Chain A
Amino acid sequence: MEFKTKINAADGRQELFITREFDLPLKLLFKAYQEPEIIEQWMGTRVERLENKSQGGYQFITIDPRGNEHVFQGVYHEFIPDSRIIRTFQMMKTPFPVQLEFLEFEEIDSNTSKLTIQIIYKSVEDRDKMLELPFAYGINMAHNKLQQIVQSLK
């Protein structure tokens, strides 16, 4: 099966690229980044604050399966509807420094669009650590799921 999301993380660089084509008109793709209720659905987070304008701020709060709160926040440097978002992003109360994100929204045709995200990290090490997180978290999640299944069998 072909995956639509591609990650390009060249060795020894402090940046990475995420690219994805959507079967959606450009306007609908951008709306998914604009409307708090929609962000909450696909990001699985609570939107505390969202100021869709240059120099506006945003804050998301996510509750993990253990009930811990995780706060993600940043500032929009540029917010151009249907075209571009440049923003900072930081996971609060973690050792990870702030990162800089460039999101480019492009129309392919009237029904398809493309999103390119370039993320720049403070160091190569920070980037690699960030890439590792879902790996480490994933094996833990697999474990939790297994535990749930085992418990439901009891």
Chain B
Amino acid sequence: MELRRDVFQAIADPTRRAIITMVALHAMTPGAIAEHFDSSRQTISRHIQILTECELLAQEQNGREIYYHLNPHKVKEIADFVEPFRRLWESRFNKLESIMKNYKPDK
């Protein structure tokens, strides 16, 4: 339970959420991540460190560069990660249904 709380604290921070969103698309180096923010590289490094400590991010050595990617196992642990996917489709289909209920074919 202790660790879970830490993970939620980690994602409570807007900068860290933004980092998670970026690396969810593809693995990135700390430098590439930092370029997206106005904060100093040290600040971003600290955020990355926190995310790595709670295992939301995982490191990967590629030549001389370290890449960070999202750890799907951890994401699954902290939340039912399918739920937002389901909700996305739920809201799309609700919209479809209400549009079609009011649909009047123009003749």
Contact = CB atoms under 8 A, between A and B. Distances in A.
Interface string A12-23: 000000101011
Contacts of A43: 92
Given A42-B95, A132-B81, A139-B21, A23 B101 contact: yes
Interface stretch (B10-18, B38-46, B60-68): B10-18
Contacts of A23: 97, 101
A5 B86 contact: yes
Interface in B7-65: 11, 14, 17-18, 20-21, 24-26
A42 B102 CA distance: 13
A135 B92 contact: no
Interface string A57-89: 000000000000000000000000000000000
A146 B14 CA distance: 10
Contacts of A3: 86, 90
B96 interface: yes
Given A3-B86, A28-B103, A41 B97 contact: no
B93 A132 contact: no
Given A28-B103, A31-B100, A131-B81, A20 B89 contact: yes
A4 B25 contact: no
Given A134-B84, A136-B21, A140-B17, A42 B26 contact: no
Interface residues of A, number: 39
A143 interface: yes
A135 B93 contact: no
A28 B85 contact: no
A78 to B, nearest CB: 21
B8 to A, nearest CB: 11
Given A3-B86, A23-B97, A135-B85, 20 more contacts: A4-B94, A6-B86, A7-B86, A22-B93, A22-B97, A23-B101, A24-B97, A24-B100, A31-B103, A32-B99, A38-B96, A42-B99, A129-B72, A131-B81, A133-B85, A136-B21, A137-B24, A137-B84, A139-B11, A140-B18
Interface of B: 11, 14, 17-18, 20-21, 24-26, 70, 72, 75, 79, 81-90, 92-97, 99-101, 103
Q: Which 9 A-B pairs have the closest CB atoms?
A: A136-B24, A134-B84, A42-B96, A5-B90, A138-B84, A140-B21, A42-B95, A28-B100, A135-B84
